[in-house]
Structure 1
Amino acid sequence: MTKETTSFVYVTYIRSTPEKVFEAITKPDVARRYWGHENVSDWNPGSKWEHVRANDQRTVELVGKVVEVSPPTRLVITWANASQASDPSAYSRVTFETEEYEDMVRLTVTHDELVAGSGMANGIKKGWPVVLASLKSLLETGHGLDVFAKPKSA
Structure 2
Amino acid sequence: MARSTYVYVSYIRTTPEKLWAALTDPEFMRQYWFGSYGESEWTPGAPWKLMSGDGVIMDSGEIVEADRPRRLVIRWQNQFKPELNVEGQSQCTMELEPIGPTVKLSITHTIEREPSKFIEAVSGGWPKVISNLKSLLETGTIALLDPYPAQSTQAAKV
The two structures have a TM-score, normalised by structure 1, of 0.88
Deviation (angstroms), 1:6? 0.9
Deviation (angstroms), 1:147? 4.5
The alignment's C-alpha RMSD in Å is: 1.8
**Distance of 1:117 and 1:88 partners within structure 2:** 13
Q: Secondary structure at the match of 1:134?
A: helix
**Distance of 1:115 and 1:142 partners within structure 2:** 39
Could you say which residue in structure 2 is the equivalent of 1:72? 69
Could you say which residue in structure 2 is the equivalent of 1:49? 48
- Kept in 1, the 8 Å contact 2:8–2:108? The answer is yes
Cα distance change on mapping 1:148 and 1:89 into 2, 3 Å: closer
| Pairs aligned (count) | 148
**Distance of 2:112 and 2:125 partners within structure 1:** 14
- Kept in 2, the 8 Å contact 1:64–1:80? The answer is yes
Identity over aligned pairs, percent = 37
Superposed structure 1 runs of 4+ greater than 6 Å apart: none
Q: 1:61 aligns with which of 58, 62, 82?
A: 58
Could you say which residue in structure 1 is the equivalent of 2:7? 9
Q: What are the superposed Cα offsets for residues 6-47 of structure 1, whole Å, 9 maximum, x if unpaired?
A: 101111100001011111111100110000211100111111
**Distance of 1:112 and 1:20 partners within structure 2:** 26
The two structures have a TM-score, normalised by structure 2, of 0.86
How do 1:112-151 residues align onto structure 2 when only pairs under 5 Å count? Answer: 112-144=110-142, 145-151=144-150
- Kept in 2, the 8 Å contact 1:98–1:107? The answer is yes
Deviation (angstroms), 1:149? 3.1
User: What are structure 2's unaligned runs of at least 5 residues?
Assistant: none
